[in-house]
Structure 1
Amino acid sequence: MCSKWDNDEVIERFREYVRIPSVHPDIDYDDCVKFLKKQANDLDLPVIVYELVPKKPVVVITWEGVQPELPSILLNSHMDVVPVYEEHWTYPPFDAVVTEDGYIYGRGTLDMKGIGMMHLEAVRRLKTAGVRLKRTVLVSFVPDEETGSVDGMRVFSESPEFKKLNIGFALDESGPSLSSTEILAFYGERTSRQIVVTCRGDPGHGSLLSSDTAGEKLHYIINKFMTLRAEEKSKVDSGTWVGDITTINLTQLSGGVQINVLPENLTVSFDIRIAPDVDHDEFDDMISKWCKEAGDGVTFEYVVKNPQVKNTKIDGSVPFWDVMKNVVVDMGYTIKCVICPGATDARHVRRQGIPAINFSPILETPMLLHAHNERIHVDMYKKGIDIFENVLVAIANVP
């Protein structure tokens, strides 16, 4: 499909990146690396590809500041995208079609190749204009965020190579906003936990009302978790931001060998996101108490047990946040800064003691992350670059 934006170099670079099918489950990042190296070469900027895990490259493009000894600014994004159900898309998800009314369709336009290219385009504009910033700016592109970052930002953030980058402040992804003036940002995240509870009981014939059954114990456990879920959901229904509460969802049930045989064991799995103000030890003690109350043979284990990570302070003690907020306000926008309801690579950066804000200046756009027909309007994409350009000048010139 031809459009009036086909000769727009800014849009064409973005579309070229979106066309690379860096999609799970079997990702080959080679084309992303080639594309990003080309961008660095066009900008006359050095680029390093770290491969701490085979076939899981981390690309870092460096724009050195006039005071490189100062802690640097990190602009992070991930190269991978989630799978698609192509039959439900209006246009092929990796064709990066631009419609006549200006919408760019493609997997990754919002999550988060669009943000990665906004970072680069902001750098391109400033460098082309001859601007020099005090602090070094690092534009990073990491793998595997969509599958938990195990081979991506997590391993990179724990490496000596990462520490040598001397990062003082980082930006990562948030989400689009339906508002024309209010940008959504995150200063912290809930802690993701995935738990499996196993309930063991005496097997027997399905015609009997035996005691000490796995089913009775499972019922008790499910009732406890779902009661807490209902209490937390009532807070959201009353207007509490979802990132400020603990979410619990029953996601799997398994066990039993035959309908007329009482099972020796049954298991139930829950996806839990713990609110920032919840004491983790007390939360574990509560689950242990429930298991004990349910009866003998009831145990739990964490499949995923992420550590609690401190939020970035937005109380005036982090100057990068203050100048960033001020410049956005000066442009006529506001920032709604809240706890992220999900999980992003920023948690690994914060875990290293580095303040980070999740910031996606995409306005008047529905939340189509991971959805069919993911898209962004040309005007909103370019407006995002405008905002990043001003934010970058502000945070990279903090004394």
Structure 2
Amino acid sequence: MDVFLNSNILSFTSPRDACSSAVSTKFRSAADSDTAMANGRISFQGHVKIEEMGGEKLRDGPDSDFMRWRWKPDGDGCELPIFNPTEFLELVRGKSLAFVGDSVARNHMQSLICLLSRVEYPVDVSIRPDFNFKRWRYTTYNFTMATFWTPYLIKRKESYNGGLFSLYLDEFDEEWTNQVEEFDYIILSAGQWFLRPLIFYEKGNIVGCHYCLPDSNNNATELGVSYGYRKAFRTAFKAINSLKNYKGITYLRTFVPSHFENGLWNKGGNCVRTRPFRRNETQLEGETLELYKAQLEEFRNAEREGRERGLKFRLLDTTQVMLLRPDGHPSRYGHWPQENVTLHNDCVHWCLPGPIDTWNDFLLEMMKIDLH
């Protein structure tokens, strides 16, 4: 087993982490343990609100058991509390939180909004009408959340070049880097977009590609999946460490695998499992492991550089715990039944409520540790 997999699933980078030597991945059914997630954790009214905000709806299929499982750390006396919305809002009173990444980052924010709806609904204070750049304010607590859609974290060219997206690996995506300096917390993430055909640029010149297409006429060298991923995170972390007035805490939310089976996402692949994997039924391997390792290495480098400026970096490691959750995706139920549309099965995003809520259990505990 690789050394990265032997490290804590939930890494607080703090000596006060009471579970630091005991954390592993374990699920319990609500029928088996009174510490498991209750079905009524999020009210139906809150679910309706998240739909209005564009969230992944609770799927209308025959299975709802995915709500009855909760991540639990192994170890005597080691327990991960269920998210407390009032405690969270008191902790972030007068502060701000930015989700920087792709639609899974937005999915994470929507989970948090849904959980907080038990206490208060936010007001839309978005600066621009674009759904990919939303801001929500909890007026009672003077707390603001925002999402910045940047699937590659760096400058990209939206138009295709022979079927390939162009990434400028050493250039900032200023749509988010110019706006996050004011935030107290940044949650940075990126993932599935890097698995598609890409052309890589450095210093304005093509240096290679991933999934090079034979008709692209660029004669680029295949550099593999982790090359661009590593460089993108290096540039994103450099952007954060170069912000003169940024004094916040930066969380890296690690790569989360998809769960397509019996085909690719556009070739009929689906996710129809109704319970989590056991730990001996799957493992981190291949491209997923390669991306995870590259991500952690860049995080450690950025953490060392940030420490010289007094900046804090924290690792919100969701990779292994979500690898075991093929049961919580929308699949073909990711749209309203009355919609007359043709969509691919969604085995990337997460139902609400569902496994993604665990990320906010982690987040709250990590924030609390930083206050001590």
TM-score by structure 2 length?
A: 0.31
Q: Which has the higher helix share?
A: 1
Q: Which has the higher strand share?
A: 1
